[in-house]
């Protein structure tokens, strides 16, 4: 079974631009979570989607947004990019067989975003 895939793997943008990152969860997985990883702050939770609904949100500004499609694929968008947004953005998927039941989260390889 294929793992979590993220596209693109690398991205270079300039300040003020916006960016969209994509995540395809493991087949059959219904929950998708997004995390930002930086050397200084480590791994920080951005948001989680289940059945096209955002169920949980971390402490990030409104410039960070996401959505989930009916096939469970998810995208996250960052508008008005800042230098500090340079990071590895990770997506994780979970089976979530029963709504509200936690289980193992499997991470993708991430998208490395560099903001110049």
Partner 1 sequence: QQQVKQSPQSLIVQKGGISIINCAYENTAFDYFPWYQQFPGKGPALLIAIRPDVSEKKEGRFTISFNKSAKQFSLHIMDSQPGDSATYFCAAREGSNYKLTFGKGTLLTVNP
66 vs 108, which CB is nearer to partner 1?
A: 108
Least separation in angstroms between CB 114 and partner 1: 15
The verdict on 105 binding partner 1 (CB under 8 A) reads yes
Q: How far, in Å, CA of 110 to CA of 53, rounded?
A: 22
The verdict on 101 binding partner 1 (CB under 8 A) reads yes
Least separation in angstroms between CB 7 and partner 1: 14
For partner 1, which stretch binds (CB under 8 A), given 11-19, 27-35, 66-74, 77-85? 27-35
The verdict on 45 binding partner 1 (CB under 8 A) reads yes
Q: Are 89 and 36 in contact (CB under 8 A)?
A: yes
18 vs 99, which CB is nearer to partner 1?
A: 99
Can you read off the two tokens belonging to residue 97? 């067989």
Pairing outcome for strands 5-7 and 53-57: unpaired
The verdict on 33 binding partner 1 (CB under 8 A) reads yes
Q: Point out which residues bind partner 1 (CB under 8 A).
A: 4, 31, 33, 35, 42-45, 48, 50, 55-56, 58, 90, 92, 94, 96, 100-102, 104-110
């Amino acid at each position: 079974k294929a793992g979590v895939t993220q596209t693109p793997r690398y991205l270079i943008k300039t300040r003020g631009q916006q960016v969209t990152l994509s995540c395809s969860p493991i087949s059959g997985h219904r929950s998708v979570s997004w995390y930002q990883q930086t050397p200084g702050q480590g791994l920080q939770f951005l948001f989680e989607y289940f059945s096209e609904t955002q169920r949980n949100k971390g402490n990030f500004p409104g410039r960070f947004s996401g959505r989930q499609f009916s096939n469970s694929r998810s995208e996250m968008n960052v508008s008005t990019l800042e230098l500090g947004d340079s990071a590895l953005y990770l997506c994780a998927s979970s089976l979530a067989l029963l709504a509200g039941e936690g289980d193992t989260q499997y991470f993708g390889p991430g998208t490395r975003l560099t903001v110049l």
